[in-house]
């Protein structure tokens, strides 16, 4: 199990606008490609308030690559990219992939 995380910094004073666009993107794009259990985190205490992270659980890395291909085929996606491009600090967006570590003791 993996978690893919898209991180970016919202322009000063524009975080709420970013979240509004992401809410619409979730309905029009994410759900169409099968991303129903994603979550969005926004900076609050101890980190920059302008930091936004979108997390998606995945069974494997190939699922992320397939989702990106599917995303490109959704007609609304390009418009949301354009809208977010005006709200995000250029050069701050990145994807990271994390493996979920199981802390449950194994029975040997």
* Averaged confidence pLDDT in the chain: 93
Domain housing 56: 2-99
What CATH number corresponds to the domain at position 38?
3.30.70.100
Phi, psi of 41 (to 5 degrees): -115, 140
Give pLDDT tens digits for 31-70. 999 998 999 999 989 989 999 999 999 999 999 999 999 9
* pLDDT, average across residues 88-99: 96
CA 92 to chain centre: 13
Residue 108: inside a domain, yes or no?
no
Residue 31: inside a domain, yes or no?
yes
- Number of domains composing the chain: 1
pLDDT given for residue 108 in this prediction: 63
Whole-angstrom Cα distance, residue 59 to residue 73? 22
Give, rounded to a whole angstrom, the gap between the first and last alpha carbons of the chain: 22
pLDDT given for residue 17 in this prediction: 96
The answer to whether 10 touches 86, Cβ cutoff 8 Å, is no
CA 77 to chain centre: 13
């Amino acid at each position: 199990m993996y978690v893919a995380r898209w991180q970016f910094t919202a322009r000063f004073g524009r975080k709420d606008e970013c979240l509004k666009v992401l809410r619409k993107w979730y309905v029009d794009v994410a759900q169409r490609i099968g991303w129903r259990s994603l979550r969005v985190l926004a900076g609050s205490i101890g980190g920059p308030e302008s930091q936004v992270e979108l997390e998606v659980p995945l069974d494997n890395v190939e699922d992320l690559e397939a989702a990106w291909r599917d995303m490109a085929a959704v007609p609304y996606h390009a418009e949301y990219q354009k809208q977010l491009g005006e709200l995000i600090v250029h050069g701050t967006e990145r994807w990271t992939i994390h493996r979920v570590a199981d802390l449950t003791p194994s029975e040997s």
